[in-house]
Structure 1
Amino acid sequence: MVEDRRRHAPATARNRDPILAILRAELPESGTVLEVASGTGEHAVHFAGALPGLIWQPSDPDLDALTSIRAWAEAARLPNLRPPLLLDAVAADWPIAQADALICINMVHISPWAATLGLMAGAARILPAGAPLILYGPYIRAEVETAPSNLAFDMDLKVRNPAWGLRDLADVAAIAAPAGLALKRVVEMPANNLTVVFRRG
């Protein structure tokens, strides 16, 4: 029996369609979408299948994640889903020179702040004018009371790794601006998450 190397993230089944609805509105009709920190690969397969006009390029810095992404891709056999790239957002050089959109789901809070800095720098390098950078995950906002579940999640993350934790959306927008990325849209999502859309100036 061949081992199934596909990993599963329970949250994916819950959030993939609400995220897809935003992607349909914000992504271009054609071109290449780079997904940074693709994790299990489940989102990549779902989005590539639903958006056949786009080339979907998954990536991750973790070798086990890359194995899972490949396994999902091999099972799906989608012509517009590319093999995953080994990509660390922190790196000064990424293994892709250009993309028409960039998405990043649930990375900002489960990584050091340097990864978000690198994500913004990378987006500035590879995105053309007007292209979107779309983030999804939980954030803190000064003008909105943080849900108790998100506060508990933030504490749990910091116990696991002091460099992790929910980020203040204002701080994220502040580092995006010097990279030429303007905050255009914030969408409330299920389970106290947000989809945040930046666009390259």
Structure 2
Amino acid sequence: MTIQKPFSQACENNKAPILDTIKEVFSRPTTVWEIGSGTGQHACHFAENLPHLAWQPSDRPENLAGIHLWRDEAQLPNLLPPLSLDVADLLWPCERIDAVFAANTLHIMSSEEVNLLFERLAVYLAADATVCIYGPFNYAGAYTSESNARFDLWLKERDVMSGIKDFEEIMCLAENGGLELEADNAMPANNRLLVLRKKA
């Protein structure tokens, strides 16, 4: 059975504005762990445009074949082979993580899975690690746009445990895990890009 290379139009739409932000955040050489790499499009785009970084894709096992197809085509020396990673895994395939990028992941996860993500980050993040999280968020329990309200309804119809998360809830989990907010960047299409750093 031939596997077709997966494609996400959303990734194509948002990769340029995300790059404009993270190139300032990840300005020094390091290894960035992308949690929930999805199709692999972001991994290829960011690795190509940020050659000083080693980019580590990761996702659940069922998504790895598609990421491999994108990586094989890109042939980028700083794009590492994707690793199998579920946030619920007790042991992650690493000893420490210096930087994290996650895009459009929290809203497809259950609240329990988001809790587990931040619990695991508290264990594996190195001192002074940076975490970038991209996606839609609610503020003070309210949607920031009608399109986000419709998107949240679509998510819940698809999976009742998923849905747009509250910014305040994420900040509480982050602070409990030793992270502090450095920036909350407004992005196109009613999305945000949160920049968090491990407290000294």
The TM-score with structure 1 as length reference comes to 0.94
Which AA in structure 1 matches 2:17? P
How far does the alpha carbon of each residue in 1:40-98 deviate from its partner, in whole angstroms, 9 at most, with x for none? 000000000011111100000141x2111000000011001111001001222111222
Aligned-partner Cα distance in 1 for 2:75–2:3: 15
53 and 74 in structure 1: CA distance in 2 versus 1, 3 angstrom threshold: same
Q: How many residues align?
A: 199
Q: Is the contact between residue 33 and residue 56 of structure 1 (CA under 8 Å) also seen in structure 2?
A: yes
**78, 81, 86: which one aligns with 1:88:** 86
Q: Is the contact between residue 136 and residue 191 of structure 2 (CA under 8 Å) also seen in structure 1?
A: yes
Uncovered stretches (5+) of structure 1, i.e. residues with no partner? none
Q: Is the contact between residue 92 and residue 118 of structure 1 (CA under 8 Å) also seen in structure 2?
A: no
- Aligned partner of 1:164 in structure 2 is 162
- Aligned partner of 2:29 in structure 1 is 30
- Aligned partner of 2:59 in structure 1 is 60
Q: Is the contact between residue 106 and residue 136 of structure 1 (CA under 8 Å) also seen in structure 2?
A: yes
In the TM superposition, structure 1's runs of 4+ consecutive aligned residues that sit over 6 Å from their partners are none
How far does the alpha carbon of each residue in 1:19-52 deviate from its partner, in whole angstroms, 9 at most, with x for none? 1111111114111100000000000000000111
- Aligned partner of 2:105 in structure 1 is 107
- Aligned partner of 1:49 in structure 2 is 48
- Aligned partner of 2:6 in structure 1 is 7
The TM-score with structure 2 as length reference comes to 0.94
Which AA in structure 2 matches 1:163? M
Which AA in structure 1 matches 2:43? A
Aligned-partner Cα distance in 1 for 2:152–2:165: 9
- Aligned partner of 1:97 in structure 2 is 95
